[in-house]
């Protein structure tokens, strides 16, 4: 009995959910629509009953009748514009309520999930309007279009196999990497643009690190000249930006090389974990407990056609160079190219060495040490920026905590050295 009544109960919940939200929105813009909580509940029940009767003629007649009633109830004369006006939001919500009620007869769970989504859109209507008009620029809309085209048009069209005789360039894997990283960077960038940087330096440093760790480090270091901001607070923000960068590498590793990700995971996770601990220690040892100091974080839009092409080119070149250096100069070639690559982009090195380790080109131990080496060089580059822009005191604080983070990764390397060699032997035997 309950199973038979479940679609009707679901429809009733959907109608009440949407109807109550629309009931609260009555009276806005001097408009008082006749459809309220009871009417929306009846619309959903009519929809589920129409589906339950399973008669095409009844469904068509009821659908046409409901559409006419909904449109007629939302057409009104606007005295300000001296023209007829249609309250489209509530009218469309009413039609969707009828459709969701119809859907509830066969797919109750899906209908309820869609109703929650609709409820969210209606509830956030004013915020969405504000965001569309004031919080996002045309340049950012172009960036969003670039990302969507990259993810849903270009990606499915790329070859799903290696395109070179050396089995190095896999367009789909490279482009997936771009889509994931660009998505995270753009989401963090939009979050900072939307909500501002008045959450405090710590959270801004963490989010800004996902968008651009280098730009965040530069902006935070520039604030060291202000007397109102403590060096310890700035150091913690810079550390969290570095943590975000390491978390990005973990995501890259888990997506691109899942078969070796667990063996290389700790070499990135340990420094990130130590970074969080260091930032927490600074949080509790600072003199001023107020972290809500607002500042302008100047981070450029991370997605554009130019940056997309440069990213894909860097990944391809980095992979080819490291692979060729491995074949020509052995392990020494990997370490040298990883060190040089770390000065430019840590994620390029992480992707390249994890790909080579996954394919058996290099050993897990070589990949792990290459990542640590690239991480160290990358930190040295950031410390150079900090020293030049933020001064000696900020440099010393950041250098101390960066050193702790790096040592934790090296410690994990020597701690797991026996397991790494055992894993290398197993991989060699399997090949």
8 Å CB contact between 353 and 370: yes
Sequence-distant (≥ 6) Cβ neighbours of residue 88 within 8 angstroms: 74
pTM of the model: 0.66
Question: CB count, 10 Å around CB of 294?
Answer: 12
Q: What is the pLDDT of residue 375?
A: 92
8 Å CB contact between 181 and 210: no
Stretch (H or E) spanning 129:
helix 125-130
Which residue is listed with tokens 């040295």? Answer: 380
Distance of alpha carbon 246 from alpha carbon 382, whole angstroms: 14
Stretch (H or E) spanning 86:
strand 83-86
Q: What is the DSSP letter of 78?
A: E
Q: What is the pLDDT of residue 33?
A: 52
Q: What is the pLDDT of residue 411?
A: 87
Distance of alpha carbon 245 from alpha carbon 240, whole angstroms: 9
Question: CB count, 10 Å around CB of 251?
Answer: 18
Q: What is the pLDDT of residue 198?
A: 47
Q: pLDDT tens digits, the chain, 431 residues: what are they?
A: 667 788 888 888 888 888 888 777 665 544 455 567 788 888 889 889 988 888 888 888 888 888 777 777 666 555 555 555 555 677 788 888 889 989 988 888 888 888 888 888 777 766 666 656 555 667 777 777 777 887 888 888 888 787 777 666 778 877 877 787 777 777 777 776 665 554 566 777 777 777 778 878 888 888 777 655 578 888 888 999 899 889 988 887 887 777 777 878 888 889 999 999 988 888 777 655 554 445 555 556 656 666 666 767 777 777 778 777 877 888 888 888 888 888 887 878 888 888 788 777 788 888 888 889 999 999 999 999 999 988 888 899 899 999 999 999 888 888 776 555 555 555 445 55
Q: What is the DSSP letter of 75?
A: E
Distance of alpha carbon 219 from alpha carbon 207, whole angstroms: 13
């Amino acid at each position: 009995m309950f199973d038979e009544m479940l679609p009707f109960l679901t429809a009733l919940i959907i109608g009440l959910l949407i109807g109550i939200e629309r009931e609260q929105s009555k009276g806005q813009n001097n408009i008082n629509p006749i459809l309220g909580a009871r009417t929306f509940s009846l619309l959903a029940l009519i929809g589920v009953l129409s589906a339950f009767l399973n008669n095409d003629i009844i469904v068509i007649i009821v659908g046409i009748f409901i559409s006419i009633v909904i449109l007629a109830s939302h057409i009104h004369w606007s005295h300000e514009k001296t023209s007829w006006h249609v309250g489209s939001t509530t009218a469309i919500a009413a039609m969707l309520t009828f459709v969701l009620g119809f859907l509830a007869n066969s797919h109750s769970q899906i209908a309820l999930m869609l109703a929650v989504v609709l409820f969210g859109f209606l509830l956030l209507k004013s915020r969405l309007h504000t965001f569309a008009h004031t919080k996002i620029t045309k340049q950012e809309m172009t960036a969003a279009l670039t990302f969507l085209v990259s993810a849903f048009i270009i990606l499915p069209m790329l070859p799903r196999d290696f395109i070179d005789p050396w089995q190095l360039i896999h367009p789909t894997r490279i482009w997936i990497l771009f889509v994931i990283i660009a998505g995270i960077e753009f989401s963090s960038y939009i979050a900072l643009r939307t909500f501002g940087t008045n959450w405090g330096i710590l959270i801004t440093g963490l989010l800004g690190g996902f968008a651009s760790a280098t730009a965040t480090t530069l902006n935070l270091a520039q604030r060291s000249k202000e007397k109102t901001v403590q060096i310890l607070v700035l150091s913690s923000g810079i550390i969290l930006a570095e943590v975000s960068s390491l978390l990005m590498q973990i995501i890259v590793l888990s997506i691109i090389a899942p078969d070796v990700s667990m063996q290389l995971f700790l070499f990135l996770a340990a420094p990130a974990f130590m970074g969080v601990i260091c930032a927490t220690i600074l949080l509790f040892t600072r003199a001023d407990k107020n972290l809500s100091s607002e500042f302008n974080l100047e981070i450029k839009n991370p997605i554009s056609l130019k940056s997309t092409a440069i990213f894909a080119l860097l990944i391809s070149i980095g992979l080819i160079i490291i692979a060729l250096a491995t074949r020509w100069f052995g392990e020494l070639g990997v370490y040298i190219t990883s060190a040089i690559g770390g000065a430019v982009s840590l994620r390029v090195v992480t992707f390249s060495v994890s790909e080579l380790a996954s394919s058996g080109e290099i050993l897990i131990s070589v990949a792990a040490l290459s990542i640590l080496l690239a991480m160290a060089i990358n930190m040295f580059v950031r410390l150079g920026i900090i020293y030049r822009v933020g001064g000696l005191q900020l440099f010393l604080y950041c250098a101390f905590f960066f050193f702790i983070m790096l040592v934790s990764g090296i410690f994990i390397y020597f701690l797991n050295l026996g397991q790494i060699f055992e894993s290398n032997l197993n991989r060699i035997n399997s090949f």
